């Protein structure tokens, strides 16, 4: 019984250490407040390395998450929201939306110090305007 309890405590200690290590690693990699510049760096990362592929996946998820949130904000019926001016074609990929963000954020006139979500919304509005 003592062996069983000490084994559980040992496993718990290892799991806690691993979780703390990966949480610390992810804080630098996935910040809570992301600037447009940081997101652009993630989106434009090289796919030749594992870290670059992780950063690209983060970018795809972030951009498609912003699009989803904007689209869902329309369910409230407000036509004043930014989502009312964004019409992403059905079947558009997350990669396509991320590429639209890269093109938009790469312009010299873009303020990359702004929050990433705001600049993503601007990029989607410019790239996928509604024609209705």
pLDDT at 6: 38
- Report, in this order, helix, strand and coil percent for the chain, each rounded to 5: 70, 5, 30
What totals of helices (H) and strands (E) does the chain contain, helices first? 5, 0
Whether residues 39 and 24 share a domain: the answer is no
Whether residues 49 and 19 share a domain: the answer is no
pLDDT at 103: 96
Tell me the DSSP string of 4-20.
Answer: HHHHHHHHHHHHHHHHH
Task: Indicate whether 6 belongs to any domain.
Answer: yes
Task: Indicate whether 92 belongs to any domain.
Answer: yes
Whether residues 20 and 42 share a domain: the answer is no
pLDDT at 106: 92
Nearest to 116 by CA among 53, 61, 45: 61
pTM above 0.85, yes or no: no
Whether residues 7 and 66 share a domain: the answer is no
Whether residues 44 and 102 share a domain: the answer is yes
Task: Walk along the chain (132 residues) and give the pLDDT tens digit of each residue.
Answer: 443 333 333 433 433 333 344 444 544 555 568 999 999 999 999 999 999 999 999 999 999 999 999 888 866 655 555 556 788 999 999 999 999 999 999 998 889 999 999 999 999 999 999 876
Diameter over CA atoms, the chain: 71
């Amino acid at each position: 019984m003592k062996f069983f309890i000490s084994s559980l405590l040992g496993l718990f200690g290892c799991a806690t250490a691993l979780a703390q290590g990966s949480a610390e690693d992810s804080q630098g990699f996935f910040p809570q407040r992301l600037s447009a510049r940081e997101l652009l760096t993630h989106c434009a990362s090289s796919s030749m390395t594992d870290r670059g592929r992780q950063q690209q996946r983060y970018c795809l998820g972030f951009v498609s998450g912003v699009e989803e949130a904007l689209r869902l904000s329309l369910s409230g019926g407000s036509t004043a929201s930014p989502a009312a001016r964004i019409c992403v074609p059905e079947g558009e990929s997350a990669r396509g939306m991320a590429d639209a963000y890269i093109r938009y954020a790469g312009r010299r006139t873009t303020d990359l110090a702004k929050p990433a979500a705001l600049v993503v919304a601007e990029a989607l509005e410019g790239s996928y305007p509604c024609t209705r």
